[in-house]
A and B are shown apart, each in its own frame.
Chain A
Amino acid sequence: MGLAKRIIPCLDVDAGRVVKGVQFVDIRDAGDPVEVAKRYNEQGADEITFLDITASHEGRETTVHIVEKIASEVFIPLTVGGGIREVEDIRRMLNAGADKVGINTAAIHRPDFVQQAADRFGSQCIVVAIDAKRVNAEGDSDRWEIFTHGGRKPTGIDALEWAERMVNYGAGEILLTSMDRDGTKDGFDLKLTSAISELVSVPVIASGGVGNLQHLVDGVVDGLADAVLAASIFHFGEYSILEAKRYMAERGVEVRLD
């Protein structure tokens, strides 16, 4: 038996509530983050990712308390992303009980922040989140670029080059979201995922587009992802984590089933 592929439910949290935007626009309320995290933990989630999409400063204080509460009740790894811009932000989240932090926009503005963070806290707790969008014309060779602002703003940075650079700077893991697929329920961008997973030495988490359980299998088998992340299929009770794992196990994917 080898290393299990990880199933990671993601909680997008805005001002203390779990929400899920369809392409970051249509937001639906999905409950209290502590209750949601506990439910996923009981269902056998391998990790939990918590993305703070709160804009306000007061909202961020709420986030620290929620992370503390989750970490004192849920004994699986917890990643916190959103608004991580300074070493101090990382320290606060780790002290609150997070095991890893996700760095996204700050890495684009200051790539050496990733280096600084990895040197200080160790690569094992630095996840670089990459939001990528296909930019080649149909028929041309594949090319993806990094986008910010929920997929609206291009940066001109090639996604593959960026992933490699972030790993060289000390990222211990890549959280890769296809902005073309996020919220669509059409499945992961498998070409993007496999291209990056083959390129980098660290684990890659596939994200964006999961609409059914076969998509999770595809992410691992064809996308070569080490872990798969999904939000809405779990939040609204369509599937439980356990159902997802059983489905994957039946199709030959190694998962943790206790």
Chain B
Amino acid sequence: MNQSRQHVAVIDYGMGNLHSVASALAHADPQAFVEVSADADVIARADRVVFPGVGAIRDCMAEIRRLGFDQMVRQAIVEKPVLAICIGMQALMDSSDENDGVECLGILPGKVHFFGDDLRDELGHRLKVPHMGWSCVEQAVDHPMWQKIDSGSRFYFVHSYYVEALERERVAGVCEYSRTFDAALASENIFATQFHPEKSHTVGLQLLSNFLAWDGK
């Protein structure tokens, strides 16, 4: 490995498509060395870490625990910039209502709730679940991760459960879908998004390149 290139580890715990995250990171910074890995040493060595996730949180948490990744994630978050995406964000919370209740990592205080079955917008139009597609994210704070991205930009979401952080000062962005929910959280060197930056076209690639330039402060 070339020492001058920064090393980005995408944590692979066997859940879903990590290649799109890795290829979007590589596209955002062709100089970066992006490695999809399940190896604790690789993740410990990396300059920054991406914690992705798709699918059901019960399976994700089971795999994280089985592979002993809870310790690894806990360690990574004290040391370097971490970007958690979608289920990765949800996994950082205390618990989720999905699958009749799942204990999560408890790194950020708060819970993950179900949107509900019969959602309506303010005009009474039916809203489908999963919340799938492009919604506006209103930025709640100034943050290096939001550089060159307008508040209100649309990002790609696909989820049926949403995060509600207990400590509201950690909310970095919110989104409307039948209710206001937390679309992004920022806590020290962690930035977490419910949306998928790797699928969000130019604004998503901008957020990933912001992450690759972020010192975690």
Cα distance, A226 to B176, chains bound together (Å): 17
User: Quick one: given A99-B17, A121-B55, are A203 and B134 in contact (CB under 8 Å)?
Assistant: no
**Contact (Cβ within 8 A) A71 B55:** no
**Contact (Cβ within 8 A) A76 B128:** no
Is A172 part of the binding interface, using a Cβ–Cβ cutoff of 8 Å?
Answer: yes
Cα distance, A145 to B24, chains bound together (Å): 41
Cα distance, A128 to B205, chains bound together (Å): 29
Is A94 part of the binding interface, using a Cβ–Cβ cutoff of 8 Å?
Answer: yes
Nearest Cβ in chain B — how far from A131, in angstroms? Answer: 21
Is A83 part of the binding interface, using a Cβ–Cβ cutoff of 8 Å?
Answer: no
User: What string of 1s and 0s marks CB contacts (under 8 Å) between A64-76 and chain B?
Assistant: 0000000111011
A202 nearest in chain B by CB position: B128
Cα distance, A97 to B203, chains bound together (Å): 20
Residues of B within 8 A of A204 (CB): 128
Is A77 part of the binding interface, using a Cβ–Cβ cutoff of 8 Å?
Answer: yes
Q: Which of A5, A77, A258 contacts B202 (CB 8 A)?
A: A258
Residues of B within 8 A of A4 (CB): 133-135, 154
Cα distance, A95 to B20, chains bound together (Å): 9
B122 nearest in chain A by CB position: A2
Main secondary structure on B side of the interface with A: mixed
Is A1 part of the binding interface, using a Cβ–Cβ cutoff of 8 Å?
Answer: yes
Residues of A within 8 A of B158 (CB): 77, 124, 172
**Contact (Cβ within 8 A) A2 B23:** no
A119 nearest in chain B by CB position: B56
Q: List 19 A-B contacts (CB under 8 A).
A: A2-B177, A4-B135, A71-B20, A72-B23, A75-B20, A75-B200, A75-B205, A76-B200, A77-B156, A121-B16, A122-B54, A124-B132, A172-B132, A172-B158, A201-B117, A202-B129, A202-B130, A203-B130, A226-B128
Which residues of B pack against A, CB within 8 Å? 16-17, 19-20, 23-24, 27, 54-56, 117-118, 121, 126-136, 152-154, 156, 158-160, 176-177, 198-205
- A-B complex: 3 closest residue pairs judged by Cβ atoms: A122-B55, A256-B134, A4-B134
